[in-house]
Amino acid sequence: MREFLNVTILAVLQGVAEFLPVSSSGHLVIGQHFLGVTEAGMRLDVFLHMGTLLAVFAYYWRRCLSLVTDWRYAGKIVLSALPAIVVYFTFKRQIDPLFENAKMVGALLMFTGTVLVGTRYLPRGTRDVSWRRALWMGVLQAVALLPGVSRSGMTLAAARSGRVSPEAAAEFSFLMSAPLILGGVLLELKEIFSGAAPDTADGLAWGHLAWGTALAAVVGYFSLVLLVKALKGKWFWCFGPYCILAGLLTLCFT
């Protein structure tokens, strides 16, 4: 029962924080720290990210279908994924331990908050995502491999700096995460089936993982709706003070 409750809490955290620019990985690290969840590690994190990836497919299903014929747009997504792939496989051994360091997450949350507040002073634009802007968004997505750095916050800030329209920025930001999340899930599944027991994964039953994935997908969908509204409005930067406060509290109480 305790495991089910822990997964439920973490799935809600993931669903809310994946799309709102407050760092889902950072919140999961903090949540696992306070809940005492150590047996799941990054594996639960990956399954919850799979849930929010399903939310992206549900929200942008028309655009996803169009990628079959729109090779130019699909190519930009592939280009945007390259920096994170290079950084991850180059610095994996240095990055993975950070997911167990709550204080580091607190500091990086404050960094995220500072960047978000800074977007208040960037001009709004009407441009589309060019190849150069796609690569720039990809570079900042690579920075967000660090827990506590918001992926959506970094990529949307990059889009704002390039004067990309809010609608185009949101759509590309979330679709560009799909190859990375899907790749991470496939790598984790490979490890599970090659080494874990058939009915568990790092101490969590498969039913718990399935429940967490589904709940993260539902909560994530509604969080995505909220963020798109925030981008169309002028209060995207307001998530910044929250991140700064959350980071400060994490530093004080962990």
Q: What is the pLDDT of residues 202-213, one digit of tens each?
A: 456 778 888 999
Residue span of the structural domain in which 226 resides = 2-253
**Under a CB-based contact definition with an 8 Å cutoff, are residues 186 and 149 in contact?**
no
Please state, in angstroms and rounded to a whole number, the distance separating the CA atoms of residues 10 and 211. Answer: 11
With residue 205 as reference, give the H or E element that holds it.
Answer: strand 204-205
Report the number of distinct structural domains present in the chain.
Answer: 1
In the chain, what percentage of residues exceed pLDDT 90? 50
Q: State the pTM of this model.
A: 0.84
Residue 200, φ and ψ in degrees, nearest 5:
-140, 165
Quick: pLDDT tens for 188-229.
777 767 765 444 444 567 788 889 999 999 999 999 998 888
- Nearest-CA neighbor of 52 among 29, 79, 25, 31? 25
With residue 206 as reference, give the H or E element that holds it.
Answer: helix 206-232
User: For 162-205, where are the alpha helices, taking DSSP H only?
Assistant: 166-175, 178-195
